[in-house]
Chain A
Amino acid sequence: MMQTHSRAAALAAAALLTLVVAACRDAGADPPAAGTQYIVGVDISGSRTPTQLEEAKELLTDVVGRMRNGDRLVLVETYQTGTDAARQWDGAIAPPRNAGRLTAGDRKRAERFRSSAAMIARTFFDTTRSRQIASTDLFTTIQRAADYAKAGNGRPTTLLLLSDMLHSSGPVDMEKSIPDSTWIARRKAEGRLPDLRGVCVFAVGGDVGSARGARARAFWRAYFSAAGARYADEQYRNMISDAAEVRCP
Chain B
Amino acid sequence: MSSWLRSLGRVPSTFGAAAAGTPSNGHAPHAAGDDDATSHDGPGDPASAGVARPELPPRPSVMAAGGVAAATPPDVPAADDGDGSAGGVHRITRKTNYWFEREISVVERDAEQSAVEWAQKGLPRHDVPRTEPLEPEQVLAKRCSQLFRDWQLRVKTRMQDAIEESGRELGEHVGTVRAKVARLETVAHDLADREQRIERLRRESAQDERPVRYASMIPRWGFWAGAIALGTVEFMANFPVFRLMLPMNAALAKVASGIADGVDPESLGAGLTMLLAEWATHLEAVVVAFVAVIVLVVLGKFAGTSARAWFALRAEDYPTAGRTVRAHQRDHLFKGGASVLGIAFVLMFLFASRGDIAGLTAERVRQDSIAVASAETRLADAQASRDDAASVTRNEELLQLRDVLLQHQEDERYATTVQRNNVPILLLNLALVITAAVLGYAHAHADLGEKRGEHPDLVRLRERCVELRAEQIAVDHDARAAAAQANLAASRVSHLLAAHPLRGWESKARRLESVIARFRGENARARGLDPANIRAFDEPPQLDLPPVDERMGLAEPAEFARLRDELQELALRLAALAPRAMPRESAASA
Contact = CB atoms under 8 A, between A and B. Distances in A.
Contact of B261 (A19, A22, A104): A104
B427 interface: no
Contact of B258 (A23, A98, A101): A23
A106 to B, nearest CB: 7
B396 A116 contact: yes
A116 B261 contact: no
A108 B257 CA distance: 11
Contact of A105 (B258, B388, B392, B396): B258
Given A19-B273, A20-B255, A120-B392, A26 B262 contact: yes
Given A20-B255, A24-B259, A103 B264 contact: yes
A116 B258 CA distance: 21
A19 B275 CA distance: 12
A164 B573 CA distance: 146
Contact of B263 (A24, A104, A119): A104
Contacts of B396: 112, 116
B391 interface: yes
Interface in B394-410: 395-396, 399-400, 403
B277 A23 contact: yes
A77 to B, nearest CB: 11
B221 to A, nearest CB: 13
A119 B255 contact: no
A16 interface: yes
A19 B259 contact: yes
Name A's interface SS.
helix
Contacts of B260: 104-105
Contact of B399 (A102, A103, A115): A115
A27 B276 CA distance: 17
Contacts of B279: 16
B383 interface: yes
B386 interface: yes
A103 B388 contact: no
Interface string A58-90: 000000000000000000000000000001010
Interface centre among B261, B266, B403 (most CB of A within 10 A): B261
A241 B300 CA distance: 67
B276 A16 contact: yes
Contact of A22 (B255, B262, B266, B399): B262
Interface of A: 16, 19-20, 22-24, 26-28, 87, 89, 91, 97-98, 101-109, 111-112, 115-116, 119-120, 123
Interface of B: 255, 257-267, 273, 276-277, 279-280, 383, 386, 388, 391-392, 395-396, 399-400, 403
30 contacts: A16-B276, A16-B280, A19-B276, A20-B277, A22-B262, A23-B262, A24-B258, A26-B258, A27-B258, A27-B259, A87-B388, A98-B264, A101-B264, A101-B267, A102-B266, A103-B261, A103-B262, A104-B260, A104-B262, A104-B265, A105-B262, A108-B403, A112-B395, A112-B396, A115-B399, A116-B391, A116-B392, A119-B392, A119-B395, A120-B388
Given A20-B280, A91-B392, 16 more contacts: A16-B279, A16-B280, A19-B277, A23-B277, A24-B255, A24-B258, A26-B262, A27-B259, A89-B388, A98-B264, A105-B261, A116-B395, A120-B388, A120-B391, A123-B383, A123-B386
